Structure 1
Amino acid sequence: MTAVQRSLDDLDRSLGLLEKDLDASSLDMRRVRTDANHLRESFALLRGTRPVDRPPVEKVTIPDTPYDASLWSGAEDDEGLGARDRRAP
């Protein structure tokens, strides 16, 4: 039961990401979302409970400003980028 619930939660998160890339109001996307909701409701009936309210997703703001270049200095050797004085084979 736990694995199925986890899979349904993963499906819901994946659909949320897909809706960001596609038109969430398109007929096909609404059908997929409706089918996923039916799966969640059917599983809740199978478990003998009603669907659990999902907590709100925490949004993380990523700034548009460029990264500080000093973050990358000296990282060539230990980040798999190669050393400055050598070439790749």
Structure 2
Amino acid sequence: MSLQDELTAVERNLDDLVRSVGKLESRLGARGLDVRRVRTDTDHLRESVALLRQSAAAGPPGGRLGAETPEVPEVVQIPDAPYDAKLWRDADDEGLGSRNGHAP
């Protein structure tokens, strides 16, 4: 099944859900937080599926959804040599402690 077919099937199922919620709403009335919450959730689902369809139509850089290669982070080499002591001159101002080892 292609991606577009799967999205169409999801939209059909969502349409069925919206109809079912409409029936519940007519039976229970539009009163109450529970009915409004379910109606809002179905509206959000419809919007989310529409956004998903748009992003699938735009397509990822790799050509297929989920087929893009993950970006490999750059490797940063850290030297084994000790750091220059001048780097730590203002360490007291940064809250790392005092030079003599005693707190103020």
Match status 1:3 vs 2:9: yes
Please give the residue correspondences for 1:40-55 in structure 2 after superposition, counting only pairs within 5 Å: 40-48=46-54
Count of aligned positions = 49
Residue 76 of structure 2 is matched in structure 1 by: none
Letter in 2 for 1:17: K
TM-score, length-scaled by structure 2: 0.45
Q: 1:13 aligns with which of 19, 33, 57?
A: 19
Provide Cα deviations, 1:24-72, integer angstroms capped at 9, x if missing partner.
Answer: 12110000000110000001000018xxxxxxxxxxxxxxxxxxxxxxx
Residue 99 of structure 2 is matched in structure 1 by: none
Partner Cα separation in structure 1 for residue 49 and residue 31 of structure 2: 25
Q: 1:29 aligns with which of 19, 23, 35?
A: 35
Q: Unaligned regions of 5+ residues in structure 2, if any?
A: 1-6, 56-104
The 3-state SS of whatever aligns with 1:13 is helix
Of Structure 1 and Structure 2, the greater helix share is in 2
Partner Cα separation in structure 1 for residue 43 and residue 31 of structure 2: 16
Q: Unaligned regions of 5+ residues in structure 1, if any?
A: 50-89
Off by >2 Å, runs of 4+ in structure 1: none
Q: 1:39 aligns with which of 45, 51, 64?
A: 45
Provide the identity percentage: 65
Partner Cα separation in structure 1 for residue 37 and residue 48 of structure 2: 16
Partner Cα separation in structure 1 for residue 32 and residue 13 of structure 2: 24
